[in-house]
Amino acid sequence: MISVNNVSKYYGDFCAVNDISFVIRRGEITGLLGPNGAGKTTTLRMLTCYLAPDGGRISVGDHLVDENPLEVKRMIGYLPESAPLYADMMVCDYLAYIGRLHGIEEKDRLREISAMCGIREVMHKNIGELSKGYRQRVGLAHAMIHDPEILILDEPTSGLDPNQIVEIRGLIKEIGKRKTVILSTHILSEVEATCDRVIIIDHGGIVVDSRTSELKSAAGGSMRLSVRAKGAGFGDLAAVLGALSGVKAVEPLDDTEGLSAATVRGEGGIDIRPAVFAAVRDAGWDLYEMATERETLEHVFRRLTRGGGDEL
């Protein structure tokens, strides 16, 4: 459905997107995840023909974006982070206007899209009177009015309250049963709640491309210990614990009360607690704390997007 091959984009000397490649298949809900400034929005703007890539090729269906941009745009519905709505128009008039731009005159389509997006009760209100949640719904209706095969959403829950976030997530999942959806966000829970697949992008490059379930499974199988000991510097503590069987990495924590502190990550399902306890004891140090937590997607995301985490 969508193929991105070795695509790069520069703003002057700054490389916003650096030689990325991925394929999105028909019927997937794909999350494009990354911190602010990672290159997500630039990638979406190239997919939607608003920006031209400086290198590489992008195809949507059977069309290259640089050769057939009008055909590509007909296949795509795009909701940017701040939906560009006319606040002084009634919702029904606005959507009828957008429909006419796409050559759609049928009132049945307005009734269908208003029901699908849950905006029937506000169709005769001015857009400027609506809550942020309803404005997002109107933006979705705008993006879907021409019944596109692909829906691209840039930070669709930005600025919404918790109830509105749940509503929009449910709507996206329902739409995803019939459409190919690309969801850009920097919020991890957004991807967990709605996406079949996650592509993590950082500093313009792809660091992970995985099924969401596989990434969660890989994260959930690892043990993390926060260890605080007295009598050793962090370097010595890291050297001793890092040499243990089953330990994948030792990372510094903030020292408290003169203690050396570290996060110790285990491999797979290995319980590293007995070995850590014995190593600290045998070194003659005092163990003040050893707290256990399981690796989560948040830990994986933070490690991969801060410039030096291990691969899963």
Shared domain for 243 and 275, answered yes or no, is yes
Domain count, the chain: 2
What integer pLDDT is reported at residue 311 of this predicted model? 40
What integer pLDDT is reported at residue 306 of this predicted model? 67
The CATH number covering residue 136 comes to: 3.40.50.300
Shared domain for 141 and 273, answered yes or no, is no
Dist CA 66 CA 53 (whole Å): 9
What integer pLDDT is reported at residue 309 of this predicted model? 42
Dist CA 11 CA 177 (whole Å): 36
Shared domain for 129 and 255, answered yes or no, is no
Antiparallel, parallel or unpaired: β 247-252 and 205-211: unpaired
Q: 235-284: per-residue pLDDT in tens?
A: 999 999 999 999 988 999 876 678 999 999 887 678 899 999 999 999 99
Shared domain for 134 and 263, answered yes or no, is no
Dist CA 138 CA 132 (whole Å): 10
What integer pLDDT is reported at residue 242 of this predicted model? 94
Shared domain for 97 and 143, answered yes or no, is yes
Which residues share a beta bridge with 247? 266
Question: pLDDT below 70 — which residues of the chain?
Answer: 216-222, 255-256, 268, 294-296, 306-312
Domain-embedded: residue 40: yes
Report DSSP state, residue 163.
H
Q: Which residue, 210, 230, 254, sits at the end of a domain?
A: 210
Dist CA 143 CA 71 (whole Å): 16
**Domain span holding position 140:** 2-210
Q: Are 222 and 282 in contact (CB under 8 A)?
A: no
Shared domain for 193 and 249, answered yes or no, is no
Shared domain for 200 and 227, answered yes or no, is no
